[in-house]
């Protein structure tokens, strides 16, 4: 189900901003993986982390678009909720 909290008009897509958000998402995922391996993220969250990890890897492979930007923001929010460091 799409998250209606993040909405952009198509003309608002800024490739530089989206690339920065993708880098931040990838960095956040890496930090979360490290914390999980060191036991700092709840083990009960493992399945959710695996699911989000796969979704993020798929997002990183997609072409830049407004839809991708919305997905990146949604994924970042989910990842932060899973591991609020």
As for how many domains the chain has, the answer is 1
| pLDDT score for 9 | 53
In this structure, is residue 59 part of a structural domain?
yes
| pLDDT score for 58 | 96
Please state the φ and ψ torsions of residue 71, each to the nearest 5 degrees: -65, -40
In this structure, is residue 75 part of a structural domain?
yes
In this structure, is residue 8 part of a structural domain?
no
In this structure, is residue 4 part of a structural domain?
no
| pLDDT score for 7 | 54
In this structure, is residue 38 part of a structural domain?
yes
In this structure, is residue 5 part of a structural domain?
no
Q: Taking each helix axis from N to C terminus, what angle separates 46-60 and 15-37, rounded to the nearest 10 degrees?
A: 150
Range of the domain at 51: 15-82
pLDDT tens for the chain, residues 1 to 85? 455 555 555 556 789 999 999 999 999 999 989 988 888 877 778 888 999 999 999 999 999 999 999 999 999 999 999 887 7
In this structure, is residue 76 part of a structural domain?
yes
pTM: 0.77
């Amino acid at each position: 189900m799409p998250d209606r909290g993040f909405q952009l008009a198509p003309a608002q897509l800024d490739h530089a901003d989206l690339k920065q958000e993708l880098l931040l998402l990838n960095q956040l995922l890496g930090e979360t993986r490290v914390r999980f391996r060191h036991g700092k993220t709840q083990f009960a969250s493992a399945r959710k982390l695996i699911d989000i990890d796969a979704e993020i890897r798929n997002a990183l492979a997609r072409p830049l678009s407004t839809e991708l930007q919305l997905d990146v923001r949604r994924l970042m929010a989910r990842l932060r909720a899973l591991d609020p460091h």
